[in-house]
Structure 1
Amino acid sequence: MNLAFFVCVPILLFVIVMISLDLIYQDKQSFSGTLTEKRYNKILVTNPQGDKFVYRLPNEQFEHIDEGAQIELLYYKRTKTVTHIKSNPIEMEEDYCI
């Protein structure tokens, strides 16, 4: 047989198993942070400790959030597919002078 067959089949089986596990178990995780960058269909989210994470979004979710916004993501554990985004408005404290 061909070498490409022996390379592609295990990769394809692995992807099928991971997606199936996500769909069957519905293991979702939550992540909160600040949206620091948007490009193409990817967002860069920074958590309060300064760690940066990249997530892919569908086009219908991508347009509704702005850079610098506090967001909360709900995503699948294994494939990191984002299922829900909640944008939290940033509350600014007013500086009062006497």
Structure 2
Amino acid sequence: EEYDYLPYFYSRSFDLSWQFYGDNVGETVLFGDNNPASPKPNFGTYWIKDGKVIGAFLEGGSPDENKAIAKVARVKPAVEDVNQLAKEGISFASKI
């Protein structure tokens, strides 16, 4: 039986917490509100390689949003338009 491994890293400090799944190589696509003055920042990054999302990072995500980015990193969906991906942000992950 093949072992199903998904790289996973996280950090929690004070009111900030982030989760990362997958690989951090390839083109990056930023999304969300990464303004340091925001009371509750919520932003992320997708990593695209060979036309597929292979990694996902999310700061300030809900439990459901964190599950969604984990699924994206595991499924590795194809992406045709990175600008559209940036606009969709976390909603892209929620549709997978």
* Fold agreement, TM-score > 0.5: no
**TM band (smaller chain):** under 0.3
Q: TM-score, normalised on structure 1?
A: 0.27
Q: Which has the larger radius of gyration?
A: 1
